[in-house]
């Protein structure tokens, strides 16, 4: 295992570009970068740019991971660059991105299934759209993945579906099994499942056999009336049990790269940081999660109670809605906290974390 960081969210990523972001990652003690989409690095798929990033990663002995974009036909209009890179032909756009990644030997490629929306409660995810059912969206995703499969097989690529905030881990596993593990895998995000009433450790057990990439992030979660309030946290300051998760992943995938998905600095100065409401007591919300078992729900509730006790004794930061200035220094502080927390756990568990940046 190696420990790295998200190439899109590492501070100043857009300003520095791909090569300088690799250097920045090394400065922060990271052993690799995982760029969410190849278009983040080279918006026109300029092979000179991509080869330069590959060369710098190799010079530094760092891992380099890439991704594609959204594979939900109902969400694709929200990312027009994916169609544009194919001159209007969406499948050609995917092919060109996949060929560019293969050319620099990046063959584990992230995809997502929707985009988060800034609406309260369940309408913040496309799972609860009222113009198209989630079942229809899943079927559209499955069909598009099967169109991409021959390209992936030809290039020796795995397309890895993230456990994103709108999709359950059950659904991701079913997609991978239905479309074939010869071309598809999973990007395990440690906290997104919270929004789907899924306990992070239970999710890890479900997805570990198929996991090929990761996003490690954390979240605080406390009761707020009948429902719950959620906020992002550095790894180790939220509800996620990384010791349990790392043991599960290391046993199933000992060569897996662990990528921290940090919160990037606020672009325009201080802003109001609010709660994300989790409607865990609302019938319409619960009904949208048919795979949720009583046993996992009970562990989920107990996880919140345990976290509230940690908040009460000051072990972790309090959950507050407030105006906050999350600048470069604050972002780096959280990154280093996450890095040290995860490395410490690996050391305690005698897990083989290759620390090339030490």
* Residue span of the structural domain in which 63 resides: 2-217+239-264+327-348
Mind listing the pLDDT tens digit for each residue in 159-199? 999 999 999 999 999 999 999 999 999 999 999 999 999 99
Q: Hey, is 233 helix, strand or coil?
A: strand
Whether residue 358 is predicted with pLDDT greater than 50 in this model: the reply is no
Give how many domains the chain has, as a whole number. 1
Rounded to whole angstroms, the Cα distance separating 30 from 164 reads 24
Q: How many CB atoms lie within 10 A of CB 4?
A: 27
Give the largest CA-CA distance in the chain.
Answer: 57
> What pLDDT does 354 receive?
72
**259 domain residue, yes or no:** yes
**312 domain residue, yes or no:** no
**294 domain residue, yes or no:** no
Strands 2-6 and 257-260: parallel
**275 domain residue, yes or no:** no
**282 domain residue, yes or no:** no
**19 domain residue, yes or no:** yes
> Which of 180, 161, 158 has its CA nearest to residue 170?
161
Res. 100 pLDDT band, cuts 50 70 90: very high
Over pLDDT 70: what percentage of the chain? 99
Q: Do residues 76 and 90 lie in contact, with contact meaning Cβ atoms separated by under 8 Å?
A: yes
CATH number, residue 120? 3.20.20.150
**226 domain residue, yes or no:** no
pTM above 0.85, yes or no: yes
**45 domain residue, yes or no:** yes
> What pLDDT does 123 receive?
92
Res. 134 pLDDT band, cuts 50 70 90: very high
Q: How remote is the C-alpha of 139 from its chain's centroid?
A: 22
Mind listing the pLDDT tens digit for each residue in 145-159? 999 999 999 999 999
């Amino acid at each position: 295992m190696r420990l790295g960081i998200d190439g899109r969210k590492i501070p100043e990523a857009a300003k520095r570009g791909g090569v300088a972001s690799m250097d920045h990652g090394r400065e922060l003690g990271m052993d690799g970068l995982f760029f969410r989409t190849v278009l983040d690095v080279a918006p026109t798929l300029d092979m000179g740019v991509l080869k330069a990033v590959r060369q710098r990663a190799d010079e530094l002995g760092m891992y380099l991971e890439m991704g594609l974009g959204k594979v939900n036909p109902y969400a694709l209009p929200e990312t027009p660059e994916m169609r544009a890179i194919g001159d209007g032909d969406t499948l050609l756009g995917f092919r060109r991105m996949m060929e560019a990644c293969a050319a620099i030997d990046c063959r584990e490629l992230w995809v997502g299934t929707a985009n988060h929306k800034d609406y309260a409660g369940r309408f913040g995810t496309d799972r609860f759209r009222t113009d198209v059912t989630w079942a229809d969206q899943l079927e559209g995703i499955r069909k598009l993945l099967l169109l991409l499969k021959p390209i992936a097989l030809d290039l020796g690529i795995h397309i890895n579906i993230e456990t994103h905030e709108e999709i359950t881990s059950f659904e991701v596993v079913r997609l991978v099994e239905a479309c074939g593990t010869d071309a598809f895998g999973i990007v395990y995000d440690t906290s997104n499942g919270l929004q789907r009433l899924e306990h992070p450790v239970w999710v890890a057990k479900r997805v570990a056999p198929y996991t090929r990439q990761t996003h490690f992030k954390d979240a605080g979660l406390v009761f707020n009336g009948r429902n719950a309030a959620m906020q992002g946290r550095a790894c180790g300051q939220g509800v996620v049990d990384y010791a349990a998760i790392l043991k599960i992943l290391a046993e199933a995938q000992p060569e897996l790269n662990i990528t921290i998905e940090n919160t990037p600095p606020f672009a325009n100065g201080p802003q109001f940081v609010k709660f994300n409401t989790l409607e865990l007591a609302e019938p319409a919300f619960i009904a949208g999660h048919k795979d949720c078992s009583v046993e996992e729900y009970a562990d989920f509730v107990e996880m919140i109670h345990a976290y509230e006790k940690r908040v009460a004794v000051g072990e972790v930061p309090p959950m507050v809605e407030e105006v906050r200035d999350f600048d470069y220094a604050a972002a780096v502080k959280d990154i280093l906290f996450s890095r040290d927390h995860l490395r410490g756990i690996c050391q305690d568990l005698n897990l083989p974390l290759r620390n090339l940046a030490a």
